[in-house]
Structure 1
Amino acid sequence: MVQQVVFLPYAGGSKFAYRNYVKNLPVGVEGILPELPGHGMRMQELPLTSLQEVVEDLYKQIRPQLKGPYIIYGHSMGSLLGFLLTKYLLQKGDPIPQYCAFTGTMAPSQTGKRVRKLHLLPKHEFWAAIYAYGGTPQEIRDTEAYQDLVENIFRTDFQLVETYKHEAFKLPVPVLVINGSEENITPEEVNAWRNDVNNFVEIQTMPGHHFFIQGKEPVILQTILSFSTLIQHPQPSKHSKHELIKNSKYTDVNAEIGLDGYSGQWENGEPSQGNPSIPTNQCEHCNNPCCCAERLINET
């Protein structure tokens, strides 16, 4: 059972953006809310300009707080951060999440490919583009001085995403993706998640624009937390041969890549022997441990 949810911020957002989500968590589930430099309670610090630095900063914040089975949830930029943070946790040999839930997002392999870069736009066009996403606090929209205060933070965050260069890697945990029906994201950009994940992928749509997550906290939390039931009892899908994770084939695959304990067994606040760790039998042709799983699936 999930005991903790790690909430990762979207561009320009602070941990306070998820305060209503934490309030709606069921009894027994704890929220972990890291804060990025330059944001919220760390406003006096300079924002980070490297995704690697961001991931390392997030890791230092959340790792000491992990004490049982957990999941990662991120919206928009937070989805990319969740993807990279899970990869980093795997590389460090630390317990990885039972699954990830991402909203308002395209697949990492599609991120950074668009020609129009918002972080390079003149001020007026930049803020017009930000407002088009919806969700911008009214005090920012109404006060130019407030815009001047936070503009560098927004631009830096957008630059992180828009200059991202994807390195081939398949996330070894199940992933739930939810987008708004009015998102400016193409089906191709969303469906590419199936190529970026070597496990069960569920893609859903909810009514609304990019910030459809606001005001729907109970519904979205219920959807995210109930995903654990879906991955335990997956239904066959015509979309991906990688979606059945509990049949005998995937038992073998998970064991092959060192994820046979993926369900998350903890003892005294530490991962037990069966928990995910860096696989020792990586593919001889690359450094991607999931490649071995891909090979096993194709051969069986």
Structure 2
Amino acid sequence: MSAATNPWLTRMKALPAPRARVLCFPFAGGTSAVYRAWQDRFPADVEVCAVNLPGRGSRFTEPPIRRMDALLDGLCSGLTPFLDRPFAVFGHSLGAVIAFEWCRLLPDRGLPSPLRLFASGARGPQLPDPYSPIHHLPPDEFVHQMQVRYAGIPAEILAEPDLLALLLPPLQADLELFETYAFRPGPALDFPIAVFGGRQDHRLDDRQYQAWRQMTSRPVDFAMFDGGHFFVQESAAEVAAAVARTLARDLDGA
């Protein structure tokens, strides 16, 4: 599988010889479009790439993956061609958990580790989910619970039943993946973590953010942005700029 034809990653601007890459994992139900505007916030020699999960976007015809171990196997094989340069990893919400677990597997697979993990909009993965599962609910109740918990479905999609019907299968599959995920203790990561949160995200508190400190033997930084759970969209320019600044420092110190 060549980088040019790889379905697992969208390169926002394919560079022949990038100095570094940022691999961005989407939130539940998200696609690569979330990170489309990020490239302009980075230096010309840094390539921004968005992870494409099956069941949505360019992989709409594929069945979504509902279990973490199966997804990680696919990611390890699919993303390997892009690890030939220094790289950082960014994940938001569910994407942060997937990114964390993928990073944990890299040494066991003989693959390089990232310069840094950016864990955005997520509690420490070792903490239990305080909410009851909803992935199995009928569509109407599932949508209601998604809005109560995350305000996660835009009004323009809620107003279009046909569009909502297309969104729900991958979204429910992602919630199943998240709600069946079980953290397994293991060695601490050997690279730093940057934890991002939304100032108006009332689902998460400082204790849950601070729990990321237990996941690495290296420093953990914290930054807060305006917005609720989806501050990665509400404050997109600020989040991308913060990642770019931090990556620049990491590269200078590499």
TM range (shorter): 0.7 to 0.9
Paired position in structure 2 for 1:56: 73
1:163 matched to 2:180? The reply is: yes
**Unaligned regions of 5+ residues in structure 1, if any?**
234-245, 247-262, 264-300
Residue 126 of structure 2: which of 80, 93, 109 is its match? 109
How far, CA to CA, are the matches of 1:97 and 1:9 in structure 2? 18
Q: Is the 1:36–1:57 contact (alpha carbons within 8 Å) kept by the matching residues of 2?
A: no
Query: What are the residue-to-residue correspondences of 1:2-151 with 2, within 5 Å?
Result: 3-110=20-127, 112-132=128-148, 133-134=150-151, 136-151=153-168
Deviations along 1:258-284, one digit per CA (max 9) or x if unpaired, are xxxxx3xxxxxxxxxxxxxxxxxxxxx
Q: Sequence identity of aligned pairs in percent?
A: 26
Q: How many pairs align?
A: 234
Q: Deviations over 1:92-145 (max 9, x none)?
A: 1111100111211111101x5324223133433321232342453444211122
**Aligned 8 A contact 2:64 2:170 in 1:** yes
TM-score normalised per structure 1: 0.71
Mark the CA change 1:150 to 1:109 in structure 2 (over 3 Å): closer, same or farther.
same
User: Which amino acid is 2:143 matched to?
Assistant: W
What does residue 175 of structure 1 align with?
A: 193
Q: Quote the Cα distance in structure 2 between the aligned partners of 1:6 and 1:232.
A: 15
RMSD: 2.3
Q: Report the CA distance shift for 1:217/1:186 in structure 2 as closer, same or farther (over 3 A).
A: closer
Query: Is residue 106–residue 185 contact of structure 1 (8 Å, CA) maintained in 2?
Result: yes
Equivalent residue number for residue 236 of structure 2: 217
Larger radius of gyration: 1
Code of the residue aligned with 2:197 in structure 1: it is N
Q: 1:197 to 1:32 in 2, by over 3 A?
A: same
What's the counterpart of residue 202 of structure 1? 221
CA distance in 2, matches of 1:135, 1:58: 25
The amino acid of 1:192's aligned partner reads: A
Shift of 1:231: 6.3
TM-score by length of 2: 0.83
Distance of 1:219 and 1:207 partners within structure 2: 9
Deviations 1:214-249 (A, max 9, x none): 14333212212222466699xxxxxxxxxxxx9xxx
Distance 1:147 1:57, change over 3 A: same
